[in-house]
Structures are given as C-alpha cells and as structure tokens.
Amino acid sequence: MTTPKDDNPATAHPTGLQPSPADANRSEQAAAVLAQEPGEALTTNQGLPISDNQNSLRAGPRGPTLLEDHILREKIMHFDHERIPERVVHARGAGAHGFFEVYKSMSNYTKAGFLQDPQVKTPVFVRFSTVVGSRGSADTARDVRGFAVKFYTQEGNFDLVGNNMPVFFIQDAIKFPDLVHAIKPEPHHEIPQASAAHDTFWDFISLMPESAHMIMWVMSDRAIPRSFSMMEGFGVHTFRFINESGKSSFVKFHWKPVLGVHSLVWDEAVKLAGKDPDFHRRDLWEAINQGHYPEWELGVQIVPEEDEYKFDFDLLDATKLIPELLVPVQIIGKLTLNRNPDNFFAETEQVAFHPGHIVPGIDFSNDPLLQGRLFSYTDTQLSRLGSTNFHEIPINRPIAAVNNNQRDGHMRQTIIKGRVSYEPNSLGDGCPMQQPWEQGGFVSYGESLEGEKMRVRSDSFADHFSQAALFWRSQSAWEKDHIIAALLFELGKVEVDTVRERMVSILTQIDKFLAYRVAEGLGMAVPPPPGGAADVPRNDGLEMDPTLSMSNTRKDSIVGRKVAVLIADNVDQTSIHAVCKALEAEGATVKFIAPRLGEIKSSEKESIKVNHSLPTVGSVLFDAVFIPGGQRSVETLCANADAVLFVKEAYKHGKAIAAHHDGTLLLAQAARSAGIADGAFKGPGVITLSPQAVNDSFVKNFIAAIAMHRFTERPDLNAIVA
C-alpha cells in the first residue's frame, strides 16, 4: 500500500507518514516543552523537584559524600560533558617536563615512595592554565591559575592538582557547575570571554557568602602573575599522609617559587593581552630553552590527626587556609622544569590529571569539594579524550607496571595475552592478585564514621568572613589599592544595580573601609549588612599574616628577567658591553629594541643585531629598561613617539630604569610628555649616571633595582597617562 505524502516538506512527519490529529497535538505539546521558559521549581533532568541544591548527600555533617547522590552525579556529569573537545575549565594551558627531588625522607609521616630517598629523581609533567577562558583566550586575564603536577612514581602516577590560590569559591562540589556557569560567557550572547566582569558571576557570588575569601584573592594581583615561575601553587584541599605503621596526619601542599611571588599590574595585563596574548606560555618556553629552569620548592603543612579540631576553622573547608603563622610550611623538596614538550597536542593538550590519582601513603579527607572532584575528573576525561583508555596515551602512561583485568574499550593499545581477565582466578595462577598494605598495596585510611544520611552543611563551615578579613588586613597599602581598583572595574561592568549593592553589602563584612572605598567609586551609598550577617560566627584570632602579602616575597634575583635596551645608530658601545654582560651573568635576558629591525651601527662602528622594532613591542613585555648613551642615538629615540611611550610606561608601572650619560635625555623627554612639572623621572628604581663611564656601582644598583620587581612608591604614578 502506498503511503500518502505531504507536499510540504516543512510539515512532513519524520517517518514519512501523515501525522494524525492526536500526533499533531502531542507534537505541539512536545514543542512547547522544548521551548519552555525556565520555571520556578528546580528539578533534575527527569523533572524531579530538588529540595536542596546547596549540599551533597553525605554521612553526617562532616562525613564523606555518598555515591548514591543521584542529584550530584547527574548535575556533575551533565556539566562535565557540556563542551567538547576542549576542557570545560582550564582549557588554555602550557606545560613542561621536569623532575622532583625530596630533600629528606618523610617516612615519619608518609610511606609514599617518591618522598623517601633524596637520591631519586621522580619524573614529572606540569601544566599551568587559566580557568575561565577558552583555548583562544589571552594568558593575562584576571583569573585563577591551575598548577597541576603529574609525578611518575614507581608506585603509580600521583597527580597534585591545584591552583595558584590556596582556597576556592565554594565548599561543596554540587555548586561547581553553578559557579562555572555563572563565570563563563553569558549563554544568551556568549559575552564576555575569559572575564568575571559581568552580571551573572557577581549575581552568583553576591548570593554565596562562602566565596568572600576567594574573591579577595582573585581581586588581588595574585590573579595576574608575572610568570608561571613567579607564582605559588597550592593543593587547595586537605589530604592525609599515612606512614608505614598506619598513623595518619592531615597535610596541605604548597609550591613556593624559588624566584619569589611577583605579579603584573592590571594596566600591564590589559596591554599584554594585545601585545602578546601568549605572554606566559612564551615566557615558560623561552626560560627552559635558555637554561633558566623554573624551580619551586614543595612545602607541606602537617597537622596531627589528634589536632583536627584545634583551629577556629574547619580543615575540611576548601574556602579556608591554614595560616602559616599557626602551622609553618615545612620545605621538603624541589621541582625543576627542564624540558619543553615535543608536541603541544600530544602532551600538553592530552595530559589528563585527576586528584584521585594517589599512591600508598597519601589519601583523601572528607572535604566535600574534593569528594565531588574525585568523580568529576574521570568523567570529564572520558568525554574529552574519547576513551576509557586515556591512561595509555604516552603523556598519561605511568612508569609503574599496569596489571589489571581491564581489556577492551575504544582505542585500546596494549595487547595482553592469555585467557584470564577476571579475579579471583586459578587459570592464571591467581594473577594479577591483590597486594596488602605491607607489600605496597593501597589501603584507604580506616576512619571511624557515624551519622545520619543527610544534605546539610556542617556548622563548622559557617564563618565566611574572618579569613577574608585576615587576607585584607595582611596586604600592603599598594596591594589594597589594587584590590579596590579591581573591584571597581569588575563591579563597574555589572549592569544590574541590585547585584552591585548586594556585593558591596558583602564587603562590609570584610572591612568597612574597603566597602566605603568601593561604594564611593561606584557612586553609591554603603548598603546595610546582608540579612543574617549578625548570626555568622567570627574568629579574628590573627591580626595579620605576613606570608599573605607579596611585599614580603624574595627580591634578590633577576634570573629570567627580561631587560629592554633602547638603541639607535651611533649608540655608545662601551656602556652596552658593560651593562649587558653583567645582566646576562646574573641570569637576565637582554633584548635590543630600535626604531627598525636589522642592524644598527654603534659609535665604534660595530654592528648590533636588533631583536625587536619599537612598533612591535612595548615596555609591558619587559621587566626593566636600559638607555645607553650616545648623543645621536638618544636624539633619534627622543624624536620617536614609541620610544618615549616605552619609557613613560615603564616608569608608570614601577619598573627599574637605568640611563647612562645622554640616555638621561630620553628620561627627561618621557617625563615632560607625562606632564611631570620639573621634567624629570626620579625616585626609587631610577638609576642614572652622567657623564662618567659606567662603573660597578651603577651596574649593581640597576641589578638590585630589577630584583625588587616593582617600585609602587614612586610619585605621580596615578597621574601619568601611558
């Protein structure tokens, strides 16, 4: 029988059959469902109303998250698979190979093999990343930086998956999809890219007071590091060390950069996004190629299990840190990166980290954010890398032998012979077989648990503002000014007045002066405290912790620093030789910048190869500037707008500037263009010498100034337009 056909293909049924009136009615209902506006009731994907979207299901207020939490699993799994093939978060990254060496055996605390013998070099692969932006975004966006280390140990891979900030926005993993949805580009127009400066993010944050501490870190200059090698790393969560006898201690992991903790300023970060959006990944690549291997020392804060409750905060709360004044960081080893990847995609892009990749002697705590991550990472890798066999990709492959009964799956590479793929068995002589703790097997720590099955947040997680206030009080004056400026920029982009008001209301609980400055800058009155603020517990035991301020970091090295030397024809060759040789001997990289590419002739008729032309670079790409003498050279530069801007911008950003002899004329020209009344750039970090030859004192003072990183106390910085 021939089926009648609809002449209008737009209304034809997918099967080719004419729809009946009942079918048409159902199709209209289905279309209405598919096009429906968001309703009032929060439900699962199956329409089940959700009574609590704030807390995972756990065994008691501080107990582990339960696998039966189908709401958490559905929410996290949907989130994990939302974007392919790039990572949902941490999409933009850079990586390198290296090794880790422990300084002394940690056997008193842990049986982890790679932490026992100082003679053993454990191979590592490290990936740094931004969190919010896509793969095509800029390196210098204001953002958290991922700091993930894969240790290829003899007991299997250990992944220390952390960030450059010690705390996080949320306390429970069930809120992670909400956080990322809020901070990602808004779904109706996909704007803005790689930025938190928009309504949905601050709407979410202003309704989540637990985020107050993390917001202070993100609004600080920690969110715009100078380089990967000058930022800290943190494991964020509280883990466990377990020694050979089974004794457990709580542990927090820290990476301390050997070069100190240094940052960009916001104006630099914005300009770098245009001048060189690959600034951080280029810096890492070039440093390794030049033999200036980035180094970090591994530190741990260890808390005996019996001291779990001695603090006025909860060790399981990822929005809290352990102040170093209370528990000093013990430095136990060093990480060195000494080899760039051979293929970005095969290594940096395909590397798969997971906080659940641990080794005997390291175990988890019941941190509810960590517990959710243990599920999420595997699920994400299955989606992103397309196979359960992602562990066989070379960059993910452990150096320890892999021996199990998992055989098949998409893109399986290992060919295992034999008929046995199950356990227990007798046909394979019982192999592979379980290994007890005494023989190196992993055994989960035997923690006693008791509690009702419930969705609830522990009361010990309730203090949202004390550590945010501690961070604020611990900052130097210039760091506080930068936090205020960041909040004014971010909240100034928010279009909904009530969101701004609600956020400033939160700030009143951190510091009244902070809230006043932000409110004043936004042109609004300071709002009243948020509802229920009086009931939030406070524990202001510490007035400040100096380790939280970058002002107290190391400032005695110029290794890896980039110094621009501004030159033109007839530059003084003698001063160039004296200064540049000394800079390179201290580990700095020197680049010659001129009005044009090619070669220029010095006053001694020697040829100098130009590395960059002035129109293609800016002072934001460098840490310091040297202006050698040579009258005709300096006159040419004084007449060049790019050269004048270069110096003026470097001065505004507090960078070290040295000028020899006629070079001081370019300093004066830049000062006049900046509107400085007396026509002179001066103050700390400005090193001049005229008219005598370059001497040791001049060179040493310049090197010391570069090591200081930045001089925020210079006069008139805010008045200079550059």
What pLDDT, in 10s, does the model give residues 409-441? 888 888 888 999 988 989 999 898 888 889 889
How many angstroms separate the CA atoms of 353 and 356, rounded? 9
Output the pLDDT for position 647: 97
Output the pLDDT for position 40: 78
Structural domains in the chain, sorted by start: 66-173+226-396 (2.40.180.10), 562-719 (3.40.50.880)
Tens-place pLDDT, residues 675-703: 887 778 888 999 999 888 899 999 999 99
Catalytic positions: 90, 163
- Alpha-carbon distance values, 327 to 115, 311, 431 (Å): 20, 10, 45
Cis status of the peptide bond prior to 530, with omega within 30 of 0? no
The band of 45, judged by pLDDT with boundaries at 50, 70 and 90, is confident
Output the pLDDT for position 720: 87
Tens-place pLDDT, residues 557-598: 999 999 999 999 999 999 999 999 999 999 999 999 999 999
Tens-place pLDDT, residues 244-254: 999 999 999 99
Q: What is the DSSP letter of 457?
A: -
Chain CA centroid to CA 6, Å: 58
pLDDT above 60 (res 542): yes
Average pLDDT over residues 12-40: 49
Q: Report the 10 Å Cβ neighbour count for 121.
A: 14
SS3 338: strand
Question: Residue 374's closest CA among 365, 383, 385?
Answer: 365
Work out the end-to-end distance of the chain between its first and last CA atoms, rounded to an integer number of angstroms.
81
- Tokens 């095509």 appear where? 136
